[in-house]
Amino acid sequence: MQADDSWLPLFPLKTVLFPDGILPLKVFETRYMDMVRECMRRNTPFGVVLIKSGQEVGAAAEPEAVGCLAHMSDWDMEKLGVMTLRIRGGKRFRIVDTRVLPDQRLEARVEMIPADDDIPVSDIHVACAKTLKIVIDDVNAKGRTEHGESFISPFSQPIQLDSASWVANRWCEILPIPLKARQKLLELEDAQSRLSIIHQYLLQHKIL
């Protein structure tokens, strides 16, 4: 696919966003407040990328080559100077070129990575989906007990336990694995490969 001529604003973070993933963000740096406002004004996403080297604050960090579009689904500013966002992961992209703006924000020209084929969970991986449902139900039940009506599930809706892509991506988000490993899973071309690795991990750690 050809790279788009426009520049995508990037938000380098010490986390990995997956398609259909939900990520709460607190934005307090002026440069990112400006970026978020501009995206809101234009109704466009920004890109979330894992930091390869550098920090979230200060000078522009070096990003990993593959990231995920972030669509804002909700925002608030309960405290002056701190904006809270709830973003949802969109399509994956590969960085073709980057530039650093005077305020140390990163922008990139990117090429979009085709979305995973919407294939069902195979028979061998059904246990992954069933166990994920147990985890989701448990997290949601505890959340409702602790927070009542104000609780918002950290899992994207609708729940798609029959989708190999959705199941694989949710496991990638919640497993206690290093960020580099999470990034490698994001970069895998297809959901079936991602889910196969997850399946082996769950077996090895006696989760299945």
CA distance 30 to 81: 8
Q: Which homologous superfamily is 8-112 in? A: LON domain-like (2.30.130.40)
Q: Delimit the domains of the chain by residue range.
A: 8-112, 123-204
- Give the pLDDT of residue 10: 97
β-strands 82-100, 8-13: how paired?
A: unpaired
Is the four-CA dihedral 34, 40, 46, 48 of positive or negative sign?
positive
Could you report the per-residue pLDDT of 160-200, keeping only the tens digit for each?
999 999 999 999 999 999 999 999 999 998 899 999 999 99
Cβ distance 51 to 63 under 8 Å? yes
Q: 123-204 belongs to which CATH class?
A: mainly alpha
Same fold, 8-112 and 123-204: no
Residues of the chain under the 50 pLDDT cut: 1-4
- Check residue 168 and give its pLDDT: 97
pLDDT at position 5 is 57
Q: Tokens 């995508």 sit at which residue? A: 8
Reported as a single tens digit per residue, the pLDDT across 13-30 is 999 999 999 999 999 998
